[in-house]
Amino acid sequence: MAGSEDVRTAPAKPAPATASDELTERQLAKAVLARTIRPRAADVRRLAEAVLAKAGSKKKRKPKKATGKKAKSAKPDRKLAKIPGQKPKGADA
């Protein structure tokens, strides 16, 4: 093994900064939609977190709808469609 050299691995380097790391969330979203850049998993995660953070801050809880007789009385009762060839319930006798 006369020609073999001692190959040493370099210490782990941090991942190089990509163009998408330097963009804001809005710019990144526009670039992804325009297909100028191909999103990586970290980019998608960053966009999702931004959307959820924005939606969580704006969203207000709606008051619950009233339940019971009063709420149901506002809707008219609808009859089900008749199925041809079947006897009505009260016609057993």
pTM of the predicted protein model: 0.41
On whether residue 14 sits in a domain, the answer given is no
On whether residue 48 sits in a domain, the answer given is yes
On whether residue 7 sits in a domain, the answer given is no
Closest by Cα among 54, 41, 47, 53 to 15: 41
What domain count does the chain have?
1
On whether residue 68 sits in a domain, the answer given is no
SS (H, E, C) the chain: CCCCCCCCCCCCCCCCCCHHHHCCHHHHHHHHHCCCCCCCHHHHHHHHHHHHHHHHHHCCCCCCCCCCHHHHHCCCCCCCCCCCCCCCCCCCC
**Range in 50-54, 70-74, 75-79, 81-85 with the lowest mean pLDDT:** 70-74
Q: Which residue has the higher pLDDT, 78 or 13?
A: 78
Range of the domain at 52: 19-59
Four-point Cα dihedral 67, 71, 76, 77, nearest 10: 30
